[in-house]
Amino acid sequence: MQIAYYPGCTIKASARQHEGAALAVLRALGVELREMEEWNCCGVVHSLTSDNLIRHMAPVRVFARLREQGNNEVATLCDMCFNTLARANQLAHEHPEQIEAMSVTSGGELNYDGNSGVLHLLQILRDRVGWAKIRARVRRPLRGLTVYPYYGCKLLRPSEIGIDDPETPAVLRDLMQALGATVVEGSLQTQCCGAYHVVDREELVAGRVAATTAQARERGSEAIVLSCPLCHFNFDTLQPQASAPLPVFYYTQLMGLAFGLEPGELGLDAHHTDLLPLLEQHNLIRPKGGPA
């Protein structure tokens, strides 16, 4: 299985461990993500304006380049990239006159009809690979590890482009259970973490992080598992210091551990909160200096 791949900016900068783990587990599953030869930033946030078309040009240009490279479908790891691209694709499909206006403005560079597909990696794992194949690939089950799946908002909303039920999603739960982990859930797992407000309203974001981690602890969770690089940054850096922070994993890292991949491939040391003690406690990695 080969799928064109749009990485986006954050994945190549502050979330490289997510990409490295994703590519490693996909190789183990026989899936190849082929990075687009040319791509640009998606614009990060979908613009809600309808009369300022320049704000929509960046994601539409990604689709135009995708077509030029001979592909009609593209995958991404980043929740915000997925949301922005999916909503731009929806705009192109429903309002071709706006795309035509952009194309004219760009000298024909943005010729696109809105008929390509964009997939989040979790959709590929659920709908193309399947939980049964993932379960069969597990070599080191995550037995005894209790996790709290956190979805945030960009993966699920608006419902027209979300990959799961916006109120009661199941994709991370089902994936973690396929890996052998125990899953606990709560009402805050689909609440926005505050996103980019961390830049100018850090207290607001820290409050949301504190409330969600408190709920996870109350449910018995030992770690948070998520998919969004911005959510990861907020949870990894803004947890209350009064108690030991909960480790925060990308789902791809836990997949890699369960598949028996080498920890060095998974970027486990590239986090603000130390992941290793919890993994050593559950015998998912060897302690430093321990027997081979």
Q: How far apart are CA 253 and CA 231, in angstroms?
A: 16
Whose CA is closest to 152, among 99, 118, 108, 196? 196
What's the CATH number for 2-121? 1.20.1050.140
Instruction: Tell me which residue has tokens 């030869």.
Output: 37
Total-model pTM: 0.95
Q: How far apart are the first and last CA of the chain?
A: 35
Can you give the residue ranges of every domain in the chain? Answer: 2-121, 130-281
> Which residues, including other chains, have CB under 8 Å from residue 233's CB and lie 6 or more apart?
14, 198
CATH topology of domain 130-281: Rossmann fold (3.40.50)
Q: How far apart are CA 103 and CA 108, in angstroms?
A: 5
pLDDT given for residue 292 in this prediction: 47
Query: Three-class SS of residue 238?
Result: coil
Question: Side chain identity at 288, as an amino acid letter?
Answer: K
Whose CA is closest to 252, among 228, 231, 233? 228
Separation in Å, CA 120 to CA 64, 109, 171: 19, 26, 12
> Which residues, including other chains, have CB under 8 Å from residue 48's CB and lie 6 or more apart?
none
List the pLDDT tens digit at each of the 292 positions of the chain. Answer: 999 999 999 999 999 999 999 999 999 999 999 999 999 999 988 877 777 788 889 999 999 999 999 999 999 999 999 999 999 999 999 999 999 998 888 888 888 988 999 999 999 999 999 999 999 999 999 999 999 999 999 999 999 999 999 999 999 999 999 999 999 999 999 999 999 889 889 999 999 999 999 999 999 999 999 999 999 999 999 998 767 899 999 999 999 999 999 999 999 999 999 999 999 999 999 886 555 4
Beta bridge partners of 117: 73
- The encoded tokens of residue 95 equal 């309002």
